[in-house]
């Protein structure tokens, strides 16, 4: 599988993380530090997603973050970019695919996962779509073809690689499948125009594409793996050590938002998302919200070993790790009160 480096390499992210540690930060405190008065940081800088409401944003709107406030600093382009920003102290937390978290930590980044924030189930999943008349119908048909993904080294990359290898393709054959990074909003049209042979689509973008007709799914991650947690939010380890109460408020607040989405009628969830987007004034569209189906995250965001070990083979074949994973190095459920049954 042809791979290219993300915009900001993991190595560069780690160097920056070590360089800027203790420098800059928000108005209350430096990255990972407490304010001059000794109290914990109460404002968390973060990146959002255009036209979407993230779990922390929902948690804040529902009052689950208490006296902890969020400070939006812009929108992210991908999960790996988001956690790199957290590692380099440009933000205070970021979320990404579990395999990308492993990659960053194995490269030396001082971050730790505290709560899962996305997952796949029978309602919410990533499908890999082609045009209706495409000859691609099996893993072997992808040889020599181009597949659009939102970024390299993340969820879609790992799913495709695992699908190809478990479907019988050799490493050499899998290398002939080219992954093309494209913004998710551009993927549907790239498939329709023939710029790529297939593309990964999830969430509302998937539903909009299906509603428009002319595309079909070859496979999906939930068909291949069943329901699973996809990725966690991470914070820097120095931030966690100096701000344990804020960390607990954040992780538990996200967990409560997960459960609110899971137990609240769909129409009410969509109405709440619509209100949040309209009130924050970022010149966004709410049109796609009508396609929302489920939160997809199991177990109130509780992180498990298998959330990382599931991708062990891909991580090894990609050269990200050279030995068996030690999941305990990557996460803690200590700060998620719902994960502890409280």
Average pLDDT estimate for 214-235: 94
Taking alpha carbons only, the member of 276, 297, 274, 296 closest to residue 287 is 274
- Cα separation, 341 vs 259, in Å, equals 13
188: helix, coil or strand? helix
Domains of the chain, start order: 10-119+229-329 (3.40.190.10), 126-225 (3.40.190.10)
For 260-310, how does the pLDDT look when each residue is reduced to its tens digit (9 = 90+)?
999 999 999 999 999 999 999 999 999 889 889 999 999 999 999 999 999
- Cα separation, 329 vs 126, in Å, equals 28
Taking residue 223's Cβ as centre, other Cβ atoms within 10 Å add up to 13
225 contacts: CB under 8 Å, gap ≥ 6: 120, 159, 310
Q: Is the pTM of the predicted complex or chain greater than 0.85? A: no
Cβ-contact 98, 308 below 8 angstroms: yes
Q: How far is CA 79 from the centre of its chain?
A: 5
User: Three-state SS string across 195-250, please?
Assistant: CCCEEEEEHHHHHHHHHHCCEEEEEEHHHHHCCEEEEEEEEEHHHHHHCHHHHHHH
Taking residue 134's Cβ as centre, other Cβ atoms within 10 Å add up to 17
* pLDDT for 166 beyond 80: yes
pLDDT value at residue 333: 98
pLDDT value at residue 17: 40
Please state, for a pLDDT cut of 90, what percent of the chain lies above it: 75
Range of weakest confidence among 17-21, 44-48, 105-109, 276-280: 17-21
Instruction: Give Cα separations from 92 to 43, 85, 86, 87, 197 (angstroms).
Output: 9, 8, 5, 8, 38
For 36-95, how does the pLDDT look when each residue is reduced to its tens digit (9 = 90+)?
345 999 999 999 999 999 999 999 999 999 999 999 999 998 899 999 999 999 999 999
- Cα separation, 81 vs 65, in Å, equals 25
């Amino acid at each position: 599988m042809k791979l290219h480096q993300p915009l900001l390499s993991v190595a560069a992210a780690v160097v920056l993380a070590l360089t800027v540690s203790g420098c800059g930060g928000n108005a209350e405190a430096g990255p990972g530090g407490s304010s001059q008065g000794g109290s914990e940081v109460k404002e968390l800088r973060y990146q959002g997603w255009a036209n979407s409401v993230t779990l922390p944003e929902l948690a804040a709107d529902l009052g689950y973050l208490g006296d902890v406030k969020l400070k939006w600093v812009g929108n992210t382009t991908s999960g790996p970019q988001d956690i790199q920003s957290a590692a380099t102290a440009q933000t205070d937390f970021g979320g990404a695919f579990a395999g990308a978290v492993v990659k960053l930590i194995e490269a030396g980044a001082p971050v730790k996962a505290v709560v899962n924030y996305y997952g796949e189930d029978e309602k919410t999943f990533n499908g890999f779509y082609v045009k209706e008349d495409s000859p691609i119908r099996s893993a072997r048909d992808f040889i020599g073809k181009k597949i659009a993904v939102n970024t390299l080294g993340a969820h879609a990359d790992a799913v495709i690689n695992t699908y190809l290898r478990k479907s019988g393709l050799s490493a050499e054959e899998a290398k002939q499948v080219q992954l093309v990074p494209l913004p998710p909003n551009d993927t549907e049209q790239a498939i329709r125009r023939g710029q790529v042979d297939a593309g990964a689509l999830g969430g509302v973008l998937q539903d909009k594409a299906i509603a428009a007709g002319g595309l079909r799914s070859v496979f999906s991650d939930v068909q291949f793996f069943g329901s699973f947690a996809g990725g966690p939010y991470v914070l820097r380890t120095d931030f966690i050590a100096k701000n344990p109460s804020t960390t607990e408020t954040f992780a538990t607040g996200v967990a409560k938002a997960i459960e609110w989405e899971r137990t609240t009628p769909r129409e009410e969830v969509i109405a709440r998302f619509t209100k949040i987007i309209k009130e924050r004034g970022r010149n966004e569209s709410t049109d796609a919200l009508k396609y929302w189906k489920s939160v997809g995250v199991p177990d109130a965001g509780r992180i498990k070993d298998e959330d990382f070990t599931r991708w062990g083979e891909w991580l090894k074949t990609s050269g990200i790790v050279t030995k068996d994973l030690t999941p305990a190095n990557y996460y803690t459920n200590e700060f998620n009160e719902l994960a502890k049954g409280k």
